[in-house]
Amino acid sequence: MARPEAEVTAQAATVRIWDVAVVGGGVVGCAVARRFALEGAAVVLLERAPDILAGASKGNSALLHTGFDAPPDSVELACMQAGYHEYLEIRERLGLPLMETGAAVVAWNEDDLVRLDAILAQAHRNGVTDVRRIDRAELMQREPNLAAHAKGAVLVPGEHVIDPWSAPLAYLTQALAHGAAVWRNAPVTGGDFDGVTWHLATPRGPVSARQVINCAGLQGDVLEHELLGSSDFEIRPRKGQFVVFDKAAAKLLTTIILPVPTERTKGVVLCRTIFGNLLVGPTAEEQPDRERAATDSATLAQLRDQAIRMLPGLADIPVTAIYAGLRPASERKEYRIAAKPGRHWITVGGIRSTGLTGALGIARHVWSLYAEQGYRHTPPEVGHWPRMPNLAEHEMRDWQQPGYGEIVCHCEMVTRREIEAALTGPLAAGDRHGLKRRTRAGMGRCQGFYCTARVAALCEGRLHE
Amino acid sequence: MSDSRPIEVDVAIVGGGPAGLAAAMALRAGGVARVTVLEREEAAGGIPRHCGHPPFGLREFRRLMTGPAYARHLVAAALAAGVDIRPRHSVVRLHPGGQLDLASPDGTRQMAARRVILATGVRETPRSARLIDGDRPLGVINTGALQAYTYLEQLRPFARPVIVGTELVAFSALLTCRKAGIRPVAMIEAGTRATARWPTSLAPRLLGVPLHLRTQLVEIRGRKNVEGVVAAGPDGTPREIACDGVILTGQFQPAAELVRASHLRLDAGSGGPAIDQFGRCSDPAFFAAGNLLRPVETAGWSWREGRRVGETVAQDLAGALPASTREVVIERDAHIKLVVPQRLAWPQFGAGIGDHVQLRVARAIAGTLSARANGQVIWQRPIDTLPERRILVPLDALPIPADARSILFQIDPRG
Ligand SMILES: Cc1cc2nc3c(=O)[nH]c(=O)nc-3n(C[C@H](O)[C@H](O)[C@H](O)COP(=O)(O)OP(=O)(O)OC[C@H]3O[C@@H](n4cnc5c(N)ncnc54)[C@H](O)[C@@H]3O)c2cc1C
Ligand SMILES: Cc1cc2nc3c(=O)[nH]c(=O)nc-3n(C[C@H](O)[C@H](O)[C@H](O)COP(=O)(O)OP(=O)(O)OC[C@H]3O[C@@H](n4cnc5c(N)ncnc54)[C@H](O)[C@@H]3O)c2cc1C
């Protein structure tokens, strides 16, 4: 059964030794905690912020990628494909949504057009065999609102849209239901390894574990400098800004529109979100700062214009939200996953721009690195499949069922019943950002004009900000 | 669906603010039996519910009231007139001919109305749509949210905010802060003068809040909570102002999402539904009134508009309002931001929502405002105005030729 955090703290006082401490509650840490808990290891996840998903995982494009354009034969590709399949396999039992949109890599000029063949060849080489060329006529038939200068495309039927937050929340909730624990507001600030056990320091008390798995995202190399004295990789944050259009835009588009990629980036995507909006982004901007993901109006205006050039109907549609995320990229274009058996440490770093898709696959890969070292646990019966509340617009929402009490956020139709649920349970929201990610309250077109105060009142004294 | 049969009413009013409630009362006074106001909040009353300051009620009750007192008065008067008010009923979709999808805590339902009046009001533009640079911490809110914190929830979102903008509502933010014991550190305005009229624009000085004109908000800083803003003054030098909140005031826009998602025509200038002088939308089963029609008027104005649309709809249901046989489209040049109504219908009948065309300009401008039909100037007048000020052109001052398909309003700037 799930364990409330207070109880865990009490246990910590008796100096429990965990099998594994996962540092970092991003999507990767959550998936790793789940895998290890399902395999029978005693897992504690340590997150420095008041809530999980406070780093790279709080702002991404929310696409479930097939890996059609990933580096061939890479660990990244293998993890993405394993992650993709596991997501599809478990999602219904966890109540995780899927919007089956498919994607089109669209050629907007002659140069793009000549590069489509190479994209197709790479997709087939990566085992994504349903990818095919479509001509302009077929593209326009699929997407009649697309700008007339589209020249043709590569269609990737398997690319889909998911909910970026309910997935990691489900992974960690399931881990908790199988004996794992989570400490929030618990940054790992130091630690000693005595040859058998790690003794980690956090402001909430010491944590002892036989193995540390570093899933600290943007802080991964910093953590290793602190605890190991050195790091094999260096995080180079890469910012991506987004513009989200009003829900009125969703009817203009079905397929995810991808550009023909360049050396540096997959480029700006135009797609619907699972919540019924339409987004354009991300940019790719290197910056030294690992904490701040600021938006700037010039870039946002450019993104908006770029979106209108692809989908002219957007010109009349207001902007609902803006946001930015930081990719935990490293100095190399690959995942940086490695075990250091002598130090009882596994690095899961540099999970740059595909971690939402790859997380479940990464978790399996990390488990095998661990198991290869001879560790054995007895898997519990996997009996708990906690269902996430549905926030996807194309499926039944809470307000459509009686007894919800009150609609608190009118733009996103968030009910008091949903807010209450998000404020209770083993993984209750830790701060107001976390509450937004769990319910969407305040994330709609009025951005809290009507509901901010009501939400604040419902949360009074119930968060750990 | 908890119940598949639609609820049948004569008139469904979407939104229980001053406009919606006034329309409902006028309908009852006009002899319409089943008048239902659908209000998504826990109580009707609209924006005045959280404007804890005067002046409200002068036009309607000939008394000076605070917003909440005024809202309670309106609700009581409507109930006394036999209006069916349903709080916590959200209208989620409009269908042709007057069908509505509703959500309430008891379940989802459909409503079939012979006529629908839309009166969903306005809201302020949030941070996102203003594309403001910087971080996205908590504590960046509009005046509406500030008032809800203060008057509805008795909470204080911050202690030392910066107020952005100088429309009338910014002074209402100032008063709200004062009431809540919040001390704004500055009020900033990009223009060369405060938008609201004197003497309101003296208020900041009287309340000891420095007003910085020709000052642009450049950036918001702070990871979790607001830590400061960067603002650039007249010389363009960016300067950090320490604060723990930002109040983004004004830049109103009609709450027109239901219209946008429906079959009804939306007007790009006003941001509200396109109407004729009776308040009739592109589907004649739908009418609209109040601040949904345009940003932004006072409660008293919205109330009067609601009453007139209510009267018109009562006559329509009695078969007196003729279907339009000829329409004149009202066009505008780029200096003019919006015009309401967007078309005039013939045959003429009564006064409609007012006896004028309302215009607002896009930028501060002085010059000659004229109306043209068939290429001829049919009316003109000098103007010197600001964007938030209303310009009224009396309908009976416009000699519209019988063969005109449209009239064009334009401004020739002076100098
Ligand atoms: C703009 C953008 C678009 C993207 N689009 C997609 C997409 O469409 N599809 C897709 O699959 N992927 C996408 N991604 C990639 C995906 O978001 C990332 O790969 C993923 O979020 C990385 O997760 P993570 O768990 O490694 O890192 P993070 O989410 O950063 O998690 C690390 C966590 O560790 C915590 N932490 C750090 N230091 C400590 C410490 N000392 N002690 C305790 N805790 C600590 C942090 O607070 C944080 O919560 C995108 C990313 C970005 C930025
Ligand atoms: C922050 C702010 C401060 C203001 N301060 C003043 C002031 O001090 N003095 C003044 O005269 N004017 C003020 N105004 C202007 C205000 O718009 C008018 O006073 C007046 O409220 C307009 O009346 P209305 O009926 O058009 O709209 P509103 O009063 O806004 O009423 C609209 C109603 O519709 C409801 N509604 C919306 N959508 C739906 C739906 N889908 N289903 C059901 N119900 C729905 C809303 O809950 C609301 O109750 C202010 C406006 C704002 C935004």
Give me the pLDDT at residue B378, please: 97
- Of chain A, the percentage scoring pLDDT greater than 70 comes to 96
pLDDT digits (tens, 9 = 90+) for B24-46: 999 999 999 999 999 999 999 99
Residue A1: pLDDT over 60: no
**For testing contact with chain A, the best of B4, B41, B226, B257 (most A CBs within 10 A):** B257
List the single residue in B105, B106, B131 with the smallest CB-CB distance to A300. Answer: B131
Using the predicted structure, report yes or no on whether residue B386 has a pLDDT greater than 60.
yes
Q: Is A89 exposed, middle or buried (0-12, 13-18, 19+ CB in 10 A)?
A: exposed
Tell me the shortest Cα–Cα distance from B276 to chain A, in angstroms.
22
Confidence at residue A9, expressed as pLDDT on a 0 to 100 scale: 47
Q: Are residues A92 and A199 in the same domain?
A: yes
Contact status, residue B244 vs residue B258, Cβ threshold 8 Å: no
Nearest CA in chain A to B268: A316
A63 lies in the same domain as A83? yes
The reply to whether A323 and A428 lie within a common domain is no
Residue A14, pLDDT > 70, answer no
- What sign for the dihedral angle of Cα B197, B200, B206, B208? negative
**Are A291 and A335 contained in the same domain?**
no
Is residue A140 domain-shared with residue A172, that is, in the same domain?
A: no
**Could you tell me whether strands A198-201 and A207-214 are parallel, antiparallel, or unpaired per DSSP bridges?**
antiparallel
Domain limit, last residue, from A388, A410, A425: A388
Would you say residue A464 lies in a domain? no
> How many beta carbons lie within 10 A of that of residue A342, not counting itself?
8
Asked whether residue A115 carries a pLDDT value surpassing 80, the answer given is: yes
DSSP class of residue A449 equals T
For the CA of A31, the nearest ligand? 1
Decide: residue A379, CB within 10 A, 0-12 exposed, 13-18 middle, 19+ buried.
exposed
Mean pLDDT (chain A, rounded)? 95
Q: Is residue A393 part of a domain?
A: no
Query: In this structure, are A335 and A431 located in the same domain?
Result: no
| Together in a domain, A156 and A256 | yes
- Among A354, A370, A388, residue at a domain's last position: A388
Average pLDDT over residues B338-347: 95
In whole angstroms, give the CA distance from residue B305 to residue B297. Answer: 10
Q: Does residue A465 fall inside a structural domain?
A: no
Pair A198, A311 in one domain: no
For residue A87, the surrounding DSSP H or E stretch is helix A75-94
A294 touches chain B (CB under 8 A): yes
Of all residues in chain B, what percent carry a pLDDT higher than 90?
87
Q: Whose CA is nearest to atom 9 of ligand 1?
A: A63
Q: Answer yes or no: are the C-beta atoms of B287 and B295 closer than 8 Å.
A: no
- Considering A339, A369, A388, which residue would you say is the last residue of a domain? A388
- Class of residue A219 by CB neighbours under 10 A (exposed 0-12, middle 13-18, buried 19+): buried
Contact (CB, 8 A) for B383 and B368:
yes
Whichever domain contains A149, its CATH number is 3.30.9.10
Q: Which of A296, A319, A452 sits opposite B128 (nearest CB)?
A: A319
Window 1-40 of B: residues touching A by CB (8 A cutoff) are: 2, 40
- Domain, as residue range, for A416: 398-459
Question: Is residue A186 included in any domain, yes or no?
Answer: yes
Place of tokens 């998000």: A422
* pLDDT over 80 at A384, yes or no: yes
In a domain, A205, yes or no: yes
Q: Which member of B124, B131, B224 has the closest CB to residue A297?
A: B131
**Residues A92 and A194 reside in one and the same domain:** yes
Give yes or no for residue A437 having a pLDDT over 70: yes
Q: Which value does ipTM take for this structure? A: 0.96
Q: Sorting pLDDT into bands at 50, 70 and 90, what band is A264?
A: low
Pocket of ligand 2 (CB under 6 A): B 14-20, 38-41, 46-48, 51, 90-91, 119-124, 143-144, 147, 169, 172, 255, 258, 290-292, 296, 298-299, 302
- C-alpha–C-alpha distance, residues A310 and B300, integer Å: 45
Residues A143 and A271 in one domain: yes
SS3 A114: helix
User: Is A114 part of the contact surface with chain B (CB cutoff 8 Å)?
Assistant: no
What is the CA(B87)–ligand 2 centre distance, in A? 15
Tell me if B140 sits within 8 A of B124, measured CB to CB.
no
For residue A133, pLDDT over 70 is answered with yes
Give the number of A-B residue pairs with CB atoms closer than 8 Å. Answer: 114
Find the B120 Cα to ligand 2 centroid distance in Å: 7
**What does the pLDDT look like over B116-153, one tens digit per residue?**
999 999 999 999 999 899 999 999 999 999 999 999 99
Give the contacts of A460 (CB within 8 A, at least 6 positions apart). B155
pLDDT confidence band for A244 (50 / 70 / 90): very high
Q: Do A403 and B105 touch (CB under 8 A)?
A: yes
pLDDT at B203: 76
Q: Judge if A90 and A104 occupy the same domain.
A: no
- How many Cα atoms occupy the beta-carbon half-sphere of A290 within 13 Å? 14
User: Which atom of ligand 1 is nearest to A28's Cα?
Assistant: 25
Please state, for a pLDDT cut of 90, what percent of chain A lies above it: 94
For residue B367, list its beta bridge partners.
B383, B413
Specify whether A157 is located in the same domain as A183: no
Q: What is the CATH number of the domain that holds A32?
A: 3.50.50.60
Contact B329, B343 (CB under 8 A): yes
CA atoms of A341 and A326, how far apart (whole Å): 30
pLDDT at position A2 over 80: no
Average pLDDT over residues B157-164: 98
Nearest CA in chain A to B101: A400
- Residues on chain A touching B142 (C-beta within 8 angstroms): 448-449
Say whether pLDDT at A465 is over 90.
no
Distance spanning both ends of chain A, measured CA to CA: 26
Report pLDDT digits (tens) over B293-317. Answer: 999 999 999 999 999 999 999 999 9
Count of structural domains within chain A = 3
Confidence of residue A3 (pLDDT cuts 50, 70, 90): very low
Output phi, psi for B359, to 5 deg.
Answer: -130, 155
List of chain A residues whose C-beta atoms are within 8 Å of the C-beta of residue B16: none
